[in-house]
């Protein structure tokens, strides 16, 4: 019987989540609970087109829920994290912390 080699934390990073704009979207939505398209665009300093592309990637992956509606005559788009989105963000932050530990101490931190 051989010991399984310990997986490097970098293998636990999800490409959909790890991309920096999408990670920013998930972080803002997590703290806000519910966030409007315009707020996200300003907070992340993106163009509307760029933000829409990233949102559709996250929506397809089932990480965010998008809700479109009107307030008066103004069209507004709100988004919130799905339970899978919350889990994915938690996991991403945990992996980043493990990576930092690995870099600084040369071994993986225990599972948190």
Partner 1 sequence: MPSSGTPREVLAGLGDLTRKVRAAQRGTWFPLLLLGVLTLGGILVGRFTFKIEAVACPAGEAAVGGCTLVTQGSALYWPLGLALAYAATAFFYIRRSRNRGVGSRVRPYVLTGIVLVALASATALWSLRHGVAQLGEPLDFWGLHLDPASGLTRFLERLAGNAMAVGLPLLVLARVERSRALLLLAVVYLAVELVPLSTGWAGIPFTSPWSALPTFGVPGVLLLLGALGFGLAELSGRRNAS
Tell me which residues touch partner 1 (CB under 8 A).
20-21, 23-24, 27-28, 31-40, 43-45, 71, 76, 78, 80, 93, 96-97, 99-100, 103
SS3 19: coil
Give the whole-angstrom CA distance, residue 64 versus residue 60: 8
Q: Looking at residue 61, what DSSP letter applies?
A: T
Minimum CB separation from partner 1 for residue 1, in Å? 34
Minimum CB separation from partner 1 for residue 84, in Å? 19
Give the whole-angstrom CA distance, residue 18 versus residue 89: 9
Minimum CB separation from partner 1 for residue 5, in Å? 21
Instruction: For partner 1, give the closer residue by CB, 42 or 56.
Output: 42
């Amino acid at each position: 019987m051989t010991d399984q080699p310990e997986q490097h934390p970098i293998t636990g990073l999800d490409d959909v989540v790890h991309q920096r704009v999408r990670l920013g979207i998930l972080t803002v939505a997590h703290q806000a609970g519910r966030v409007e398209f315009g707020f996200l665009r300003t907070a992340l300093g993106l163009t509307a087109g760029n933000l829409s592309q990233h949102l559709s990637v996250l929506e397809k992956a089932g990480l965010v829920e998008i809700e479109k509606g009107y307030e008066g005559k103004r069209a507004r788009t709100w988004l919130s994290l799905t339970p899978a989105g919350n889990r994915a963000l938690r996991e991403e932050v945990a992996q980043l912390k493990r990576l930092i530990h690995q870099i600084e101490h040369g071994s993986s931190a225990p599972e948190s």
